[in-house]
Amino acid sequence: MKKVLVANRGEIALRVLRTLKEMDIRSVAVYSEADRLSPHVRYADEAICLGPPPSSQSYLLGEKIIEEALKLGVDGIHPGYGFLSENAAFAEKVEKSGMTFIGPSVHSINIMGSKLAAKAAVKKYDIPMVPGVDHAIKDSKEGIEIADQIGYPVLIKASAGGGGKGMRVVEESGIFEEQMKMAVSEAESSFGDGAVFVEKYITAPRHIEIQVLCDNHGNSLHLFERECSIQRRHQKVIEEAPSAVLTDELREAMGKAAVMVAKSCDYSGAGTVEFLLDDNKFYFLEMNTRLQVEHPVTEMITGVDLVREQINVARGEKLSFKQEDLSINGHAIEVRVYAEDPSNNFLPDIGNLQKYSRPQGPGVRVDDGFEEGMDIPIYYDPMIAKLVVHADSRELAINRMKRAISEYNISGIKTTLDFAQWVMNHELFVKADLDTNFIAKHFNPEELVNSNQSTEDPEVIVSAFLAAHLLKTAATKSTTSDATTKAKSNWKSRK
């Protein structure tokens, strides 16, 4: 594999391109007109403009990407995450074109892309699953009967869902029909598939996911877990590895279960198996057949470059290490830096990065795709960067993250950095007393507003600046005459 096209944009495109360069593989970037000046475009050896800014006219044009890749003699296509990364039809077309899709097989994507198909596949492996049904319900009457059997609250979920779309929590039978209609409608508009099923809603679970790696020679292993319980609108915002609550026994059990899930669909490459953890009992949730946004925390604690492993597996190589070779080194935390306003229900914000300065120092990693002066486009996910830290312990990692957040200088748009700092300082987060409702239970937007007013009041800043300037001017005047005289006399003596 001598040339690889990265079918993505921004930070994940740049992340993959860097590993390609280290592997001495030539690279091709793709971009929309909105991303013409993006760092990933300049970094690649070659670049192709796909079209106008909307994804449907650029990054989702699978056939055009394949056509352009063939013209340039590309050997493989890495999809990153999002866009076409879990599109089985695209993966199949890549393979039929004679190029390599750097990801799992079409078979694996199809099975794990449907939550119902995934449930059916793992069922024979005796993996714990959330109480509910493993088939699409026909109508609200059937759904109510099922809900009455397993007990409220229940969750109506889209079979083809993801990112919290097509999901509705139902507390009682009286609103089931209405909520089901909304879930079906959202599923159809988001995924083109209105199939939904019902399962028990676990009210306060932790979200734990296991990173797996599999090759095409029958070797499968896991690289431990990531804690992803800090979420808003079913979207992760802060992740860490390892989890602070897993015992060695539970970690081993969940790791083995994750490997079995991967084997159930003949998985190949890097993937993630997600579980809900409730009172030390875990339940299979779903499998993501791609690289995860939060993969850096796993890389930090294991020392494994997951993108490199994906590429090696796609080239037909065996995994270069075994399960017993892996161990957890320290603790890592990732904060997703979004162009969002946490004080206004995390609404996306757009604008110009008037100032953009990354934090530095030991144990700090920033995966991003922006530079100072660039605009945040409205067409794509509002994530600016992933801020990752690594330290010897969780306590040190939290302190390092707080330091890194304080050094991250972004102006011109609102970001989630203040919110992330609030989480790092929260006593329950410090204690690792978490569940997926953490933000809903504990976050009060007024805390950020009040904090910003107290520290960023323009009048206070101006007054402080003027006071410092006056003091400096007075001190300068008192010493200028003497200093100038000495400087002149010294200059004359040197002459």
Start-to-end Cα distance in the chain: 69
- Mean pLDDT, range 316-342, rounded to an integer: 97
pLDDT digit string (tens) for 239-278? 999 999 999 999 999 999 999 999 999 999 999 999 999 9
The verdict on 143 and 246 lying in the same domain is: no
The verdict on 183 and 312 lying in the same domain is: no
List the Cα angle 405/408/409 in 5-degree steps: 140
What is the domain-level CATH number for residue 441? 3.30.470.20
The verdict on 247 and 278 lying in the same domain is: yes
Cα distances from 448 to residues 98, 443, 452, in angstroms, run: 53, 9, 6
199-213, 274-288, 430-444, 451-465: which range is least confident on average?
451-465
CA–CA separation, 267 and 121 (whole Å): 12
Q: Look at residues 158, 182, 200 and tell me which one is the last residue of a structural domain.
A: 200
pLDDT tier at 451, thresholds 50, 70, 90: low
**Greatest CA separation found in the chain?**
102
β-strands 154-158, 220-232: how paired? unpaired
Bridge partners of 169, per DSSP, are: 155
Question: For position 163, what pLDDT does the model report?
Answer: 66
Question: Can you give the pTM of this predicted structure?
Answer: 0.87
Question: For position 205, what pLDDT does the model report?
Answer: 96
| Number of compact structural domains in the chain | 3
User: 278: Cβ–Cβ under 8 A, 6 or more apart, which residues?
Assistant: 202, 204, 205, 206
Residue 459 placed within a domain: no
Question: Which token pair is 41?
Answer: 């475009």
The verdict on 97 and 73 lying in the same domain is: yes
Model confidence at 438: pLDDT above 90? yes
What is the domain-level CATH number for residue 90? 3.40.50.20
Residue 476 placed within a domain: no
Residue 406 placed within a domain: yes
Is 290 annotated in the active site? yes
- Cβ atoms of 136 and 278 within 8 Å: the answer is no
Using only C-alpha atoms, the chain has a radius of gyration, in whole angstroms, of 26
- Mean pLDDT, range 133-153, rounded to an integer: 93
CA–CA separation, 324 and 173 (whole Å): 50
What is the domain-level CATH number for residue 154? 3.30.1490.20
The verdict on 293 and 368 lying in the same domain is: yes
Question: For position 448, what pLDDT does the model report?
Answer: 83
- Mean pLDDT, range 128-150, rounded to an integer: 93
Half-sphere exposure of 58 (CA within 13 A, CB side): 20
Question: For position 470, what pLDDT does the model report?
Answer: 52
Model confidence at 168: pLDDT above 50? yes
Active-site choice (251, 290, 394, 400): 290
135-139, 286-290, 446-450: which range is least confident on average?
446-450
CA–CA separation, 250 and 368 (whole Å): 34
Residue of 28, 90, 102 lying closest to 315 (CA atoms): 102
Residue 494 placed within a domain: no
DSSP of 22-48? HTT-EEEEEEEGGGTT-HHHHHSSEEE
The verdict on 165 and 44 lying in the same domain is: no
The verdict on 177 and 150 lying in the same domain is: yes
Model confidence at 191: pLDDT above 50? yes
Q: Look at residues 102, 120, 153 and tell me which one is the last residue of a structural domain.
A: 102
- Cβ atoms of 171 and 195 within 8 Å: the answer is no
The verdict on 190 and 236 lying in the same domain is: no
Residue 461 placed within a domain: no
Q: Look at residues 452, 468, 483 and tell me which one is the last residue of a structural domain.
A: 452
User: 252: Cβ–Cβ under 8 A, 6 or more apart, which residues?
Assistant: none
CA–CA separation, 369 and 383 (whole Å): 10
227 alpha carbon, distance to own chain's centre: 12
CA–CA separation, 372 and 357 (whole Å): 8
The domain of 268 spans: 206-452
- Mean pLDDT, range 121-131, rounded to an integer: 91
For the chain, percent of residues with pLDDT exceeding 90: 83
274 alpha carbon, distance to own chain's centre: 14
Supply φ then ψ for residue 273, to 5 degrees: -105, 125
User: 200: Cβ–Cβ under 8 A, 6 or more apart, which residues?
Assistant: 130, 131, 132, 150, 151, 154, 155
CA–CA separation, 168 and 166 (whole Å): 7
The verdict on 25 and 52 lying in the same domain is: yes
Question: Which token pair is 425?
Answer: 């300082």
Residue 464 placed within a domain: no
The verdict on 98 and 68 lying in the same domain is: yes
Question: For position 15, what pLDDT does the model report?
Answer: 98
Mean pLDDT of all residues belonging to the chain = 91
Sign of CA pseudo-dihedral 49, 51, 52, 55: negative
Sign of CA pseudo-dihedral 375, 380, 382, 386: negative
pLDDT digit string (tens) for 87-104? 999 999 999 999 999 999
List the Cα angle 216/124/282 in 5-degree steps: 90
347-361, 395-409, 438-452: which range is least confident on average?
438-452
Residue 362 placed within a domain: yes
The verdict on 178 and 226 lying in the same domain is: no
Question: For position 234, what pLDDT does the model report?
Answer: 83
Residue 311 placed within a domain: yes
DSSP of 266-305? T--EEEEEEEEEETTEEEEEEEE-S--TTHHHHHHHH---
The verdict on 345 and 298 lying in the same domain is: yes
CA–CA separation, 225 and 222 (whole Å): 8
